[in-house]
Chain A
Amino acid sequence: MSALIQDLKYGLRMLAKSPGFTSIAVLTLALGIGMNTAMFSVIYGVLLRPLPYPQPSRIVEIARTYRGKLESYAGMSARGFDFWKAHDEPFQYLAASTGMAFNLTGPDEPERIDGLRVSADYFNVLGVQPFLGRGFSSAEDQLGGANVAVLSYGLWQSHFGGDRHALGRSVLLDGVPYTIIGVMPKGFESIPPVALWTTIGQVRKTMGGGWNYDVIARLRPGLTPRNADAYLAPLSRFFFAEVAPDMKQSRVNSLRFVATPYRFMITNDIRTPLLVLFGAVGFLLLIACVNVANLLLSRTTTRNREMALRTALGAGRGRIFRQLLTESVLLSTFGAALGLVVAVWGLDSLLALAPNVLPRAQHVALNGWALFFTAGSAILAGLLVGLAPGIAASHANLNESLKEGARGAGLSVRHRRLSAGMVCAEVALSLILLIGCGLLVRTFANLLAVNPGFDPRHMLALQISTKGSQYSSMPALAAYYRELTARIEAIPGVQSAAVVAAGSPLERGGNDNPGVFVHGELQHPSVDYREITPGYFRTLGVPIVRGRPFTEADSSGAAKVVIVNAEFARQHFRNQNPVGQHLISGKGQMEIVGVAGDVRSSLNAPAPPTYFVPMAQASFAVDQLFQSWFPTSILVRTSVDPLSLGREVVNAVRAANPNIPIGRVQSMEETLALSLATERFSMTLMSVFAGLALLLAAVGLYGVISYSVARRTHEIGIRMALGAQRADVLRLIVKQGLQLTLIGVGIGIAAGLGLTRFLSSLLYGVKPSDPITFIAVPSILAGVALAACYIPARRATKVDPMTALRYE
């Protein structure tokens, strides 16, 4: 113990003796450890932190795999839920839920709130009960059951002032009174975040008719998800035979049900980007460690005599090694302490960068686990950093070192090779990060270059919901929208306005399975569905490539008409003119009167086949159903900055009907930016990490070449005495740096080709082995390396041969 204290004391004294070196090393490690701590905090908060429910590992979601790969968005129908209720052996409780929005009306302004329709055992699955009142009963959770609601603590506080007598009172949701039967405890975390819950049984024929439910379950005590899988998988075949008998056998054979940990499911979309970024930031720490190790290795040359003296006085190799490791761990400890400051700053920046990207973002914080991770990183970094110099010093030639005196003998050939190897490793690691960054930048550029199918500039989108309003039929709604768009179009600066229901451009929307005769055979493809007012295509600037747009004449009493998009025509009317053909719905045949250009729902996927119906001819029930998931949007084309007209448009909506709740108001360019939030998050972080890696690699290379120039001053003097021109010396030094760079680049390219496949799910329009990236990025790196070598190389050309020869 006293030896350790002595090592620590001496280590501290040595670090204090070289403040310049210590500062650079501590800063470098702080950057690496701090960024890792920040990223770990995100990983922990989002991916690792247990769900805030009792025994969370027992909560699973019944999910589907297709050929072994988890399907993120495969829902369950009401009949499917019934099937699993009848086959629930591994589960203590089983529950279904579906998210939907409600119009909450009352004495205050109407508002749109998010809610969940859940089955009776939902709170039992989560293991949390209302702190006031009770949860749902099976009697309530069925068709014709009583309309009851459980409030979140927040809604109870904001709308009932925390009054315990709220139980038994009603809230008006979509114009229907729901009796409050319970209030969830403060701090209860809902997934997804919602303001209230009601029962799902009432919508089994509407929402439950499609694959719109999520089914979660609490495993029986002692069972694992794997046990449940063993039970579910063999039942998959029977499930489809009973619930989806029309499904093709080949598809059925590829589908399996699995019990996936609920925490895993809710973070499935963000897992890959986060793990890729965590890997990237890990590389950054490695580069930082290599950099500091190289600095320490160079520094050992000045301490050869000291170490030789210690050895001569009886210190064993192990003792010398331990002394140096103590110093490096001290360095990394200081680095970690400063790294926590970097982590606080980094975490704030990271969260600011990803307001809508990270689920469970509220749990992302520097907590005990993060501190534990920081401490672990510090120890690991300290050992990594101290390893090479420790070995070098403990193997130094005692006799030579003592003879060389205080000036030091410089690094031996073996250690110079080690140092050069570390630079190559740094370059290789940086290149891998830069290639990853390059691919993500190219992806982002490709996405920005994607034509969404309409001009998003000068366009405002405003969400409304008419559920539970006075408009109880589509003609009434169509008349309201007509008046609304007329009012908006009267605002100076507005060119045109239109309304779309069941999904806005660049967002997911509703879908349907209309009947289509394809070469005489009736098929029911799954296609997107939208309800629009006549000005929709004109307002968006989407061309009608065949036929005609809707007009006011396409009213409820007129012949049923639809417009399909070009993708629909391509998929279902190949080599035919769709205009004049018919789609078949429950209400009869609808004639296709036009073909419109494609509008994307997401920039990274082609426009889905879509059919549009005139608002006045849509089914009211379908409209209301889709409004539960997708708000109706008013689209406004302006000749001025669209956001500058936001207030006037809102006023126009209020003037047309003050009882209609207004949701989000944003420009279509903001919608576009939001749709790329995950890609922007990944790209920005990767760019920051790659930029830092490049900087560290350049500094590392600069350090090694500078050291080399200092070491070779005498040699350079000889060369100049023998007639070397400045250009010869410049070439000599730059060549040395470029050789190291090229070796690193070679390794980096090979490793990059192997590692970029992990990025493939994050890429768009670019392959993981994209030749442009694999040529451009190493060129940039080589350019930076050249600059890093050029500075010491220029210094080398200034060597005065006279001085250099005297130096000997």
Chain B
Amino acid sequence: METNLQTGVEQAGKSHGSGEVLIRLEGVTKVFYTDEVETHALAGVHLDIKKGEYVSISGPSGCGKSTLLSIIGLLDSPTDGKYWLDGAPVESLNLSERSRIRNREVGFIFQSFNLIGDLNVYENVELPLTYRGMPSAERKQRVMESLERVGMAHRVRHYPSQLSGGQQQRVAVARALAGDPAILLADEPTGNLDSKNGEAVMELLRELHREGATICMVTHDPRYARHADRTVHLFDGRIVDEQDHRAHDEEENPSVS
């Protein structure tokens, strides 16, 4: 399937939310069936994420945060509802098309880093690019640029087991960035890190956002949620509240200019 997606953090605009919608969910539901039990993980979610926006999703355990992130990241498909990614409907794509879009448009950052232990830092970051059939020279340039952005270029030959948790998460961020995706999806990116490393990763994400990246982050930590422009609160598979931190910040810190 051809989509009219424009890729790239840079193309998303330098401003915090260009006004152009990148992600649109309408009435998205997700039901898991196990034997005779139906679990409604999502129950009619409506959500827009604009290009360049930094959104956090929060809520108690089991409220459907990760399920929502998986659907946004095309790792899972909704049971019902509509999903447009940069204007193109994607809720009913086949596996192959979802893989292709995931590879080009989505950058994942997982709680447990999910680096491949048998591959070194360079190879881990290079991995999504190899699935695009990108020439080796271009891959190398992108990998090194990404690693430099996260401050890990000096560790290219190291294996994940030789890195600290914070370093591993930096590499995971570099891997997510290397493909120049339309959106970064972060699932509890600080969940496996100590506070110092957690702060450092959050700072990295904020920096990326300042450079124009669209970010959607799942977190249950209110401190980190406040790093985002907007926080969406989920409860029992529904969005029950939204908080715009920019407005709040402006109220607390009015501009003098």
Contact = CB atoms under 8 A, between A and B. Distances in A.
A715 B116 CA distance: 6
A723 B127 CA distance: 9
- Interface range on chain A: under 10, 10 to 19, 20 to 34, or 35 or more? 10 to 19
Interface stretch (A18-26, A93-101, A686-694, A800-808): A800-808
10 contacts: A715-B117, A718-B114, A721-B102, A723-B99, A723-B103, A724-B99, A724-B131, A725-B96, A725-B100, A808-B114
Q: When A and B form their complex, which 5 residue pairs have the shortest distance between CB atoms, in order from nearest? A: A723-B103, A722-B128, A723-B131, A718-B114, A723-B102
A723 B104 contact: yes
B7 interface: no
The interface centre, meaning the residue of B115, B116, B118 with most chain A CB atoms within 10 A of its CB, is B116
Contact of B132 (A714, A719, A723, A808): A723
Interface of A: 714-715, 718-726, 728, 801-802, 805, 808
B75 A722 contact: no
B122 interface: no
B108 A721 contact: yes
Contacts, number: 52
Interface in B97-138: 99-100, 102-104, 108, 110, 112, 114-118, 127-128, 131-132
Contacts of A805: 75, 110, 114
A722 B175 contact: yes
Nearest to B76: A802
Contacts of B179: 723
B95 interface: yes
A506 to B, nearest CB: 63
A722 B100 contact: no
B70 interface: yes
B131 A718 contact: no
A331 to B, nearest CB: 31
Contact of B75 (A719, A726, A801, A808): A801
B229 to A, nearest CB: 25
Nearest to A725: B99
A808 B187 CA distance: 14
Contacts of A802: 70, 75-76
A104 B110 CA distance: 96
Contacts of A718: 114-116
Given A801-B75, A802-B75, A723 B128 contact: yes
Contacts of A724: 99, 103, 131
Contact of B96 (A714, A715, A719, A726): A726
Contacts of A714: 114
B122 to A, nearest CB: 15
A802 B76 CA distance: 7
A242 to B, nearest CB: 80
Given A715-B116, A805-B114, A722 B76 contact: no
Contacts of A808: 112, 114
Given A725-B99, A725-B100, A802-B70, A719 B127 contact: yes
Nearest to B98: A723
Given A801-B75, A802-B75, A802-B76, A722 B131 contact: yes
A35 B110 CA distance: 54
A714 B116 CA distance: 9
Contacts of A721: 73, 75, 102, 108, 114
Contacts of B175: 722
Contact of A726 (B73, B95, B117): B95
Interface in B73-103: 73, 75-76, 95-96, 99-100, 102-103
A721 B95 CA distance: 11
B70 A720 contact: no
Given A722-B128, A728-B131, A805-B114, 13 more contacts: A715-B116, A715-B118, A718-B114, A719-B116, A723-B99, A723-B100, A723-B102, A723-B132, A724-B99, A725-B96, A801-B75, A802-B75, A805-B110
A726 B102 CA distance: 14
Interface string B131-152: 1100000000000000000000
Nearest to B181: A723
Contacts of B110: 805
B70 A722 contact: no
A14 to B, nearest CB: 30
Contacts of B132: 723
A722 B102 contact: yes
A726 B97 CA distance: 11
B218 to A, nearest CB: 13
A805 B73 CA distance: 13
B45 to A, nearest CB: 17
A569 B143 CA distance: 81
Nearest to A717: B114
A722 B101 CA distance: 10
Contacts of B128: 722-723
A726 B94 CA distance: 12
Nearest to A724: B131
The interface centre, meaning the residue of A714, A720, A722 with most chain B CB atoms within 10 A of its CB, is A722
A718 B110 CA distance: 10
Contacts of B102: 721-723
The interface centre, meaning the residue of A718, A723, A725 with most chain B CB atoms within 10 A of its CB, is A723
Contacts of A801: 75
B198 to A, nearest CB: 19
Contact of A720 (B99, B112, B115): B99
Contacts of A715: 116-118
A212 B95 CA distance: 82
B64 to A, nearest CB: 14
B70 to A, nearest CB: 6
Interface in B8-48: none
A722 B108 contact: yes
